[in-house]
Amino acid sequence: MITVIGTHEVKDAKAWKEAFDADTDNRTKHGIHVNGVYAGVEHPNMITINMKFPSKEAFEGMINSPEMQKTMEAAGVISKPEFKILTEI
C-alpha cells in the first residue's frame, strides 16, 4: 500500500465535494481508501485528499486514465493536481 496526498484548486468546493462523493464506486473499484478530504482554511477552494492505493502503478493507472481526467474536469478542478506519493517507514 502507498499513501497519496493530492492537492488541487476547484471552482466551487461544495460542488466538487458532491461530485467526489458520487464517485465512490470508482474509487472502490480501484482499491482506493480515502483517509480524509480537506479544504484550505484561507483558501476553501484548495482541496487536499489523503488516500491509500494498492500500489504506485494502481495510482498512476487511475490518475492517468481518460475517465479520471473527464471526472476531474466535470467536478470543477481548475489547477493541475500535485501529488506526494509516500510509503510508510
Residue pLDDT, tens place only, 18-36:
999 998 988 888 899 999 9
Residue pLDDT, tens place only, 29-81:
889 999 999 999 999 999 999 999 999 999 998 889 898 889 999 999 999 99
In DSSP terms, which residues pair with 33 in a beta bridge? 52
Q: Is the dihedral of CA 17, 21, 23, 27 positive or negative?
A: positive
Rounded to whole angstroms, how far apart are CA atoms 11 and 88? Answer: 33
For the domain spanning 2-86, the CATH number is 3.30.70.100
pLDDT of res. 29: 83
Rounded to whole angstroms, how far apart are CA atoms 5 and 26? Answer: 18
Q: How many alpha carbons fall within 13 Å on the CB side of residue 58?
A: 17
Q: Is the pTM of this model over 0.85?
A: yes
